[in-house]
Structure 1
Amino acid sequence: MASRKRNPNGAGSIWQRKDGRYEARVYVPQPDGTRKRKTVYGSTWEECDEKRQELVRRDRQGIPTPSRSAKLSEWLPYWLEEYIRPHRKRTTYVKYEMHVRLYLVPLLGSRRLESLNTANVRRMVSEVTAQTSAATAREAHRVLRTALTAACREELISRNVVQLVPAPQVEPRALNPWTLDETLTFLESARGDGLYPAFVLAVALGLRRGEILGLQWRDVDLERRTLTVRTTLHRGGKELYLDTTKNRRTRAIPIPLMCVAPLRWQRLRQSAQRASAGGKWHDSDLVFTTRSGLPIEPRNLYRSFLRIASSAELPQVRLHDTRHGCASLLFAAGIAPRTVMEILGHSQIAVTMNVYTHVSDDSRREAMSHMDRLLKRRR
């Protein structure tokens, strides 16, 4: 019988069982923050000691080792707090947390990591699709796949069953942005609205809603006619917060002349509001604020957009669709794709080319008229 070797306090101990195998027990951290005793076995003392040392190493690195297979209701919240919150954008955390809270834990929370199977995942996808939409189910599928990938890396499970279940197919949304005449009609109708400068930026620069509401005066240079996009405003639960841009990159955009006067007017209007509010003014340096200087609720900007479009009897589109319209107008003006990509703030030119360009009926007619000229039979 091999002699028993002593280990440091907390590092567990090894002994030989009656069946000849070796056994070690080590107290290890659990996903819920508690500590429990974990048992490992080996046919030799060395094999058992190697497994024991691995548990000790994980403990010192703060990596949880469940004494039994953790439930998804235990692993998913831990994964959000330890893997997503410290390393991903806050907007990503908020989105993932919503899917975990509304769909994954209610539908799969009682399942243990090791017992989760493809049938469970398919049932979850079907139920989320029935409750909401295929797009939401696809996102929930992606969140669960990402969470289980982390569990695989931590060797809590041997395989990611979500990868064996195809994500639901989502039909691409039909894009019908406004024509040039419809866009001009909207701007004329919005001229008397307090958010008119915001809508001008959306149409002329293709800024996202959060980028418009997160714009700060320190990033606007009206003398040099440049605007720097570096922050976005988001609603996360019960609070509004500023975050970095979608791809974490800042971008400087030259301001067209049609944007200068509305921005000057907005600065004067905000100064008057500040003077009127007095000590109740909340100084945030944001370009677009409420009468008391607070950030504007993103939904309110969208509601104003829909109200103005409806009063002008324009086709109903999303505020985000103004980005599609901006890209199409820039392409129609002969602007290089790379330049359009930089203006819109895309990380890949394929997104600009495949998603944010819309070919109008007039453009198609003009293209086909060339066929008449090229293929016209000689007389």
Structure 2
Amino acid sequence: MNDKRNTVIIHTPSKRRDRNKYEIKITIKQYDGQTERVSKYGNSKAEVMEQAQVYADHVRQYASVAAAQAALRLTLGDVAQRYIARHDLAPKTLATYRHTARPEGLIGGLLPLPVSAITDERLAVWRRSIAQSGASASAQRRAVKLVVAIVTHAQLHQRLFPGVRASLLTPPRAERRSITYWEPAQAQRALAHVRTLPEGIAIEMMLVQGLRVGEVRGLEWQDIDLRSQTLRVQRQITDIRGRGTVTDPKSRRSRRTLHIPNQLRDRLLAHHAAQSAMGRGRPGDLVAATRTGRPYTRERLALILNRTASALELPRIHVHGLRHTYAAIMRRQGVGILTLSRLMGHADVRTTIDYYAHLYDDELRQAGEMTGFLLEEE
């Protein structure tokens, strides 16, 4: 925002005989030397004085009267549409934003409001209202984060919402579901069970490499070098409006190169030979795919997991529970939390700590005993 401000002079109200209304004139002296005059009308002196004061407060924040008047015509919904229409949003993020910004959604009550009506106080009232709406914490969090993003972007690029501190809105903490995972012996039994299934390779790679379901769905043969035993995560396939869509990995750190253990290399060699026999297995073909070359759906993989758990009398776990199992096994093998964070492709080590700090409780207890020798008598 430009530090220079317009000078606003509010004149004395007068009564218009021809209209039987009160008129108040406002003179705006812009910092560039130009002068503009605006009139406001109302049924009483108090009404026009209030209109003039609101308008004056608004105009002072802008570099020109034209910008102020343009802002008065805009609604938050208009600004939201411009923000969501940007081309640098990932497809899944774009779909989430559109769903969140529906008129019947949590931010629907803000959308018709003019930009000039959006204040810290108005946002605080809205924040309290959605907290009492009964919506889930995750839905509230999405709504708050979207409003903050819209207002902040408009402040930086359109000089709108002057003085509004949307960043003060505090989204609720997302609910953390209890993490369920298999013990190593249970994971081994499950892998032996799915090995003969077409979908088995996908489950094996999620368990052995810690891949996200979208990452294993988007894995192509060109991403795997069986000679050097390396695997590169370069894309993912996510479901957007019911269709599998290729997108970038979840974060910059999700792009990573992983070592393939010998046992998985042998499984991939056999899997590649089987695909080649069906006329697939080319560099751009998917590693985990149906007979027609399409990626397995998340629901299909979840169904296989549920059937496996029932057949072997194992705890039922979510598809993402395979990553939790991977993390728990890596921890038991002595892998540090920073290394684990890099292997799993978390954007920040704090994410790893947030989810898996409990796996390090024994290590914390052992560390707590390390200084006990200081109290020993000589």
TM-score by length of 2: 0.71
Equivalent residue number for residue 122 of structure 1: 128
CA distance in 1, matches of 2:69, 2:321: 47
Q: Which of residues 256, 264, 267 is equivalent to 1:262?
A: 267
Asked if 2 retains the 8 angstrom alpha-carbon contact of 1:282 and 1:293, the reply is no
- Tell me the SS of whatever aligns to 2:258: strand
- C-alpha deviation, 1:56, in angstroms: 11
- C-alpha deviation, 1:151, in angstroms: 2.5
- Tell me the SS of whatever aligns to 1:294: coil
Superposed CA deviations along residues 206-261 of structure 1, whole A, max 9, x for unmatched, are: 10011100101001111221111111111122532212211235211110122123
* Residue-pair matches, total: 319
Superposed CA deviations along residues 115-163 of structure 1, whole A, max 9, x for unmatched, are: 2412233223433xx24x1122112211111111122332221244644
Amino acid at match of 2:72: R
CA distance in 2, matches of 1:134, 1:284: 40
TM-score by length of 1: 0.71
Equivalent residue number for residue 91 of structure 1: 92
What pairs with 1:1-379 in structure 2 (closer than 5 Å)? 42-43=28-29, 46-48=32-34, 66=70, 68-82=72-86, 86-101=87-102, 103-104=105-106, 106-116=108-118, 117=122, 118-127=124-133, 130-131=134-135, 133-153=136-156, 154-160=158-164, 162-249=166-253, 250-274=255-279, 284-356=284-356, 358-359=358-359
CA distance in 2, matches of 1:225, 1:263: 10
Distance 1:77 1:104, change over 3 A: farther
Asked if 1 retains the 8 angstrom alpha-carbon contact of 2:131 and 2:140, the reply is yes
Amino acid at match of 1:89: A
- Tell me the SS of whatever aligns to 1:228: strand
CA distance in 2, matches of 1:282, 1:69: 56
- Tell me the SS of whatever aligns to 2:101: helix
CA distance in 1, matches of 2:171, 2:338: 32
Asked if 1 retains the 8 angstrom alpha-carbon contact of 2:107 and 2:143, the reply is no
Distance 1:143 1:311, change over 3 A: farther
Give the unaligned 5+ runs of structure 2. Answer: 1-10, 12-25, 37-58
Amino acid at match of 1:111: L
Asked if 2 retains the 8 angstrom alpha-carbon contact of 1:288 and 1:295, the reply is yes
Amino acid at match of 2:88: H
Amino acid at match of 1:271: S
- C-alpha deviation, 1:79, in angstroms: 0.9
Distance 1:337 1:207, change over 3 A: same
- C-alpha deviation, 1:357, in angstroms: 5.1
- Tell me the SS of whatever aligns to 2:334: coil
Asked if 2 retains the 8 angstrom alpha-carbon contact of 1:230 and 1:244, the reply is yes
- C-alpha deviation, 1:274, in angstroms: 3.8
CA distance in 2, matches of 1:270, 1:186: 23
Equivalent residue number for residue 46 of structure 2: none
- C-alpha deviation, 1:289, in angstroms: 1.8
CA distance in 2, matches of 1:65, 1:196: 62
User: How many percent of aligned residue pairs carry the same amino acid?
Assistant: 24
Amino acid at match of 2:85: E
- C-alpha deviation, 1:282, in angstroms: 11
Distance 1:339 1:261, change over 3 A: same
CA distance in 1, matches of 2:188, 2:231: 23
- C-alpha deviation, 1:367, in angstroms: 5.8
